[in-house]
């Protein structure tokens, strides 16, 4: 699946990709306030990108999958990884561009990180510093602690892997866009000319998840922008294919470690 194609939707405005020949310092800060849902074209950077959603929901799409950051969470994007960034309406993004030597051993995949109150305040303070801050002295020491906090931030399993097979990817895109859609395993196995058991093995091998595990995570991740729009939990649960609010809340707590209400209250705080 081409990343640019996944973000080319009628409801998406275009976000410009910043052009920098080089980073002026080890860490460079950039803030954006997006009132509308928007997306960038697929692109890559010569540096590590730390994109933090201080408000709203942030998505990063790569050839590997979809990575989603709820409010007060962040996505760490390795250098030279082709990606597209999608934001929900009324999203405030604080991005840090970090020289590759400052954060190493990231591997080739994005990570979703939980931002602690300390890291959040350090990001805010860093944004007040001059672009060419003094690397020797208090500002340079602050940056080093900031990098240490990013490196130590807890990882979250807020990743939705894409299968390698293009036909399965198209199916997964449909399930993500229509969370309450049925799985229709029999129909897909018939179209692919294999048994349901073989289809299940293909999917498990390519995503490391079963169909039902993948769909449940897709439904929960699809719920985030709707919850951010302050829709009722019951309404979001029904739209995302859950028969009861209690089942939705239980699944949500299992993935995010908190209920929808707790997550939103944390975002407001």
Residue 193 makes CB contacts below 8 A (sequence gap 6+) with none
Give me the pLDDT at residue 66, please: 92
Give me the pLDDT at residue 131, please: 93
Confidence of residue 16 (pLDDT cuts 50, 70, 90): low
Give me the pLDDT at residue 170, please: 87
- The 10s digit of each residue's pLDDT in 33-83 is 887 888 888 999 999 999 988 888 889 999 889 999 888 889 999 999 999
H, E, C per residue of 50-101: EEEEEECCEEEECCCEEEEECCCEEEEECCCCCEEEEECCCEEEEEEEECCC
Long-range contacts of 188-193 (CB under 8 A, 24+ apart): 191/167, 192/167
Cβ count near 8 (within 10 Å)? 13
Confidence of residue 8 (pLDDT cuts 50, 70, 90): very low
Confidence of residue 12 (pLDDT cuts 50, 70, 90): low
Give the span between the Cα atoms of 106 and 50, in whole angstroms: 12
Is the pLDDT assigned to residue 3 strictly greater than 80?
A: no
Summarize the confidence of residues 96-102 as an average pLDDT: 94
pTM above 0.85, yes or no: no
Is the pLDDT assigned to residue 1 strictly greater than 70?
A: no
- The 10s digit of each residue's pLDDT in 208-256 is 999 889 999 999 998 988 887 767 899 999 989 898 999 999 999 998 8
- The 10s digit of each residue's pLDDT in 103-145 is 877 778 899 999 999 999 999 999 999 999 999 999 999 999 9
Contact 237, 245 (CB under 8 A): yes
Give me the pLDDT at residue 237, please: 92
Confidence of residue 153 (pLDDT cuts 50, 70, 90): very high
Give the span between the Cα atoms of 238 and 66, in whole angstroms: 23
Give counts: helices (H), strands (E), the chain.
10, 12
The larger pLDDT score, comparing residue 18 to residue 175, is at: 175
Kindly calculate the radius of gyration of the chain based on its CA atoms and give it in whole angstroms.
19
Give me the pLDDT at residue 269, please: 54
Summarize the confidence of residues 199-210 as an average pLDDT: 92
Give me the pLDDT at residue 176, please: 86
Residue 209 makes CB contacts below 8 A (sequence gap 6+) with 161, 203, 217
H/E run at residue 4: helix 3-6
């Amino acid at each position: 699946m081409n990343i640019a194609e996944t973000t080319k939707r009628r409801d998406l405005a275009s976000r410009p990709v910043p052009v920098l020949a080089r980073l002026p310092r080890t860490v460079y800060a950039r803030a954006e306030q997006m009132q509308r849902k928007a997306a960038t074209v697929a692109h890559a950077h010569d540096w590590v990108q730390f994109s933090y959603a201080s408000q709203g929901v942030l998505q990063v799409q790569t050839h590997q999958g979809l990575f989603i950051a709820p409010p007060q969470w962040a996505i760490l994007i390795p250098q030279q990884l082709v990606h597209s960034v999608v934001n929900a309406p009324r999203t405030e993004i604080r991005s840090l561009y970090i020289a590759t030597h400052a954060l190493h051993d990231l591997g080739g995949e994005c990570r979703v990180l939980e931002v602690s109150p300390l890291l959040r305040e350090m990001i805010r303070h860093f944004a007040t510093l001059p672009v060419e801050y003094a690397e020797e002295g208090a500002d340079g020491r602050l940056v080093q602690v900031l990098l240490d906090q990013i490196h130590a931030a807890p990882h979250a399993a807020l990743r939705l892997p894409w299968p390698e097979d293009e036909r399965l990817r198209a199916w997964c895109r449909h399930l993500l866009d229509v969370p309450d859609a049925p799985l229709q395993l029999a129909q897909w196995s018939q179209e692919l000319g294999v048994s349901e058991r073989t289809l299940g093995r293909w999917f498990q091998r390519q995503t490391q998840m079963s169909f039902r595990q993948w769909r449940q995570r897709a439904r929960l991740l699809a719920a985030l922008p709707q919850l951010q729009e302050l829709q009722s939990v019951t309404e979001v649960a029904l739209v995302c294919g859950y028969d009861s609010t209690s089942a939705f809340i239980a699944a949500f707590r299992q993935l995010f470690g908190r209920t929808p209400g707790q997550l939103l209250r944390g975002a407001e705080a």
